[in-house]
Chain A
Amino acid sequence: MLEKAKVSLFLAARSISRGNKGITIFTIFVLTLIFVQLILFSSILAGVTVKFNELMVDYQTGNLVIEPEDEKRYIENTAALQKKIESLPEVLGTSARLKASGSFRYKEKDAGGTIYGIDPNDETFVTGLEGAMMSGEFLSKPDRGEVILGREVSGGFGALMDSKSLGGVEIGDTVEVTIQGNTKEFRVKGIYSTLFFLADSGAYISRADMEEMLGVRDGDLAHEISIKTTADTDEFEFRIKLLSLGIKENIRTWQEFAGILRLIQDVLGIVRNIMSAIGLLIAFVIIFVVIYVNIVNKKRQIGVQKAIGIEQNVIIASFVLQAMLYAGCGVIFGYLLMRYGIIPYTVVHPIRAPLGDVSLGFDQLEAINRAVLLFLASVVASVIPAYKLANKDLLELIWEK
């Protein structure tokens, strides 16, 4: 058994080292590209997922959100709670928000969305809204009667659902805002775009205006407190830490708000699997053709090997080993190209996507999975032609043109 493996390995090694270098390089090059193609979509998906998550955290939820206890409408003693949370070293900032669904009206056009009542000073420590202003300015604490609108509400600025917006509100325009039946006119102070459609479908007004519209007299109430933590903080562990402080309100990590993102990711995952299956099929056909051409060119050699007593299985194994080596090199070069070439390049030069600049992500497990599949495809694609030919009649192999 061992001597047979040794002969197969010997024949494969000599065939590669002394055979046609052009064919070897071409085959490895093609397999490298196939492997890159197999993991590229996963990398794009990983990059998009990371971007989605960043947008969610940076422009909407922060890392964690505290919500009222069950069967309560508001969080009470908000200021004290904020102070308590902000005393923790992991916390960069907190923002207590009042929020409600509302509608906007501007020149006979209506739009709906979530409206937040915020303390602008606190909000800047939690979300990046201030930096997302496309036009005008962010709110400031003493502002009254002023609103900032997301681009999906205002329209323009590349809004995805422009027809459902107010159709191009500009800074200084007055819009009617209706919350729980109360209508008030607001001057548009700014328009923001985070490129995250959920965040861009909202609007922000000052806490004082929101309290007035909701009829809230206690200035220490909130619907949610958004918490921004340091980059290295694990949200799940931090949640446990908050609970240990005796906070009775519901504490949720941002992941719990990412249902729609997961749905999008799942759909993209299906597309990725289809692409991978097609990629593998292409890989299989290419390897099959390359090995087949290689074997057909060595038909007479196979005949001679059989004539001098080299076993058929040994001959087949020598071709399979060659294919495995080609696949192995393709996987290694493809991995190196992705890991140390394409992915770092997209970090420095991100791809401009509708949801912002996206860098490719690298999923190690996915790469291993694809490598194994490519390897198996190579084995099958080489066994079939090798077996077919080596099984032929000896004299036919030697003499048939």
Chain B
Amino acid sequence: MENHTRKEGGKEAEKLTKNDSFIIEGIDIVRTFKMGEVEVRALRGVPVKIRRGEFVAIMGPSGSGKTTLLNQLGLLDTPNSGKIIINGMDTSGMSEKEKGKFRLHNLGYVFQDYALLPELNAIENVYLSLMMQGKSKKEYESSASDILNAVGLGDRLYQLPSKMSGGQQQRVSVARALAHKPLILFADEPCANLDSAASKQVLDLFKKFNENDGQTIVMVTHEDWHLEYVDRVINLMDGMLVEKNDVK
């Protein structure tokens, strides 16, 4: 497998400063949702700092704002106020289109329910974002094949998601998230639908990419035993940090 070092893609990425100590810097992130007449304050001014190469868990009880925070940091949602700086770039002024382009080149996602496209087989799911980046057929096929081999699915390249177990699908999802060598991998409860053996496989993969390639990972989880894999935990309660970030 080729070495998965972080890389930049797109014009915006060229502006990024690689040597910043913090790859993510969230300043007073506020996110409120309207549910009918009621306003729910999901995040109430959360400050977050994550170093390059860190494996961070976001934890907290249900409704504490874990996924909401991940979505803000992963540019899947826009905070009502506050700033998110990724690799030195302030993302608060970005349009939806610019955010999409930034995600394509710099961020990777693993969702709780895998979120694979059912009409694409494993390798196609993985190389879709590489195709979108304009890579040649040879490049994207070889990259996708390499990363699928790295997650232990080299023999299932052409299998449709419907023919795979949950654990295998989640590994494809991990491969998809890492195929374009993102700056940061965001994972939203990636083991929630998996048994403990499959969960362990996924977390082992995360750890491997984190340790071997310095992959920055931000993961939402509610399982205490996952903590043995991460460097640090961000604890949330009612949309606020409950303890100081404890950097190892």
Q: Which of A's residues lie within 8 Å of B, judged by CB?
A: 3-4, 6-7, 10, 14-15, 17-19, 300-301, 304-312, 314, 394-395, 398
Contact = CB atoms under 8 A, between A and B. Distances in A.
Contact of A19 (B71, B77, B103, B119): B119
Given A6-B131, A10-B131, A395-B76, A309 B115 contact: no
Given A304-B115, A394-B76, A394-B77, A309 B71 contact: no
B78 to A, nearest CB: 9
Contacts of A395: 71, 76-77
Contacts of A15: 119
Contact of B132 (A3, A301, A312, A394): A3
A225 B213 CA distance: 100
A17 B105 CA distance: 29
A198 B248 CA distance: 104
Given A19-B119, A395-B71, A311 B77 contact: no
B111 to A, nearest CB: 7
Interface of B: 71, 76-77, 97, 100-105, 109, 111, 115, 117-120, 124, 128-129, 131-134, 160, 176
Nearest to A303: B115
A7 B132 contact: yes
Given A301-B117, A394-B76, A7 B131 contact: yes
A312 B119 contact: no
A120 B105 CA distance: 91
A309 B104 contact: yes
Contact of B129 (A14, A309, A394): A309
B144 to A, nearest CB: 13
B132 A310 contact: yes
A398 B134 CA distance: 25
Main secondary structure of the interface of A (DSSP, over half): helix
Lowest 8 A-B CB distances belong to which pairs?
A309-B104, A3-B134, A18-B119, A309-B103, A304-B115, A14-B119, A308-B129, A7-B131
Contacts of A309: 100-105, 129, 132
Given A19-B119, A394-B76, A395-B77, A308 B103 contact: yes
Contacts of A10: 124, 128, 131
Contacts of A17: 119
Tell which of A6, A301, A394 has the most Cβ of chain B within 10 Å: A394
Contacts of B119: 14-15, 17-19
Contacts of A6: 131
B145 to A, nearest CB: 17
A69 B229 CA distance: 109
Given A6-B131, A309-B132, A395-B76, A304 B117 contact: yes
A311 B132 contact: yes
A7 B103 CA distance: 17
A292 to B, nearest CB: 18
Tell which of B101, B104, B115, B133 has the most Cβ of chain A within 10 Å: B115
A3 B119 CA distance: 20
18 contacts: A3-B132, A3-B133, A4-B132, A14-B119, A15-B119, A18-B119, A18-B120, A18-B160, A304-B117, A305-B128, A307-B76, A307-B109, A307-B115, A311-B132, A395-B71, A395-B76, A398-B111, A398-B115
Contacts of A19: 119
A113 to B, nearest CB: 72
A312 B100 contact: yes
Contacts of B97: 311-312
A306 to B, nearest CB: 7
A314 B118 CA distance: 18
A224 B15 CA distance: 92
B99 to A, nearest CB: 9
A15 B119 CA distance: 6
A73 to B, nearest CB: 82
Given A309-B104, A398-B115, A3 B109 contact: no
Contacts of B111: 304, 398
A310 B101 CA distance: 8
Contacts of B176: 308
B128 A308 contact: yes
B100 A306 contact: yes
B132 A314 contact: yes
Contacts of B109: 307-308
Contacts of A300: 115
Nearest to A300: B115
A297 to B, nearest CB: 11
Contact of B118 (A7, A301, A305, A310): A301
Contacts of A301: 117-118
Nearest to A304: B115
Contacts of B104: 308-310
Contacts of A394: 76-77
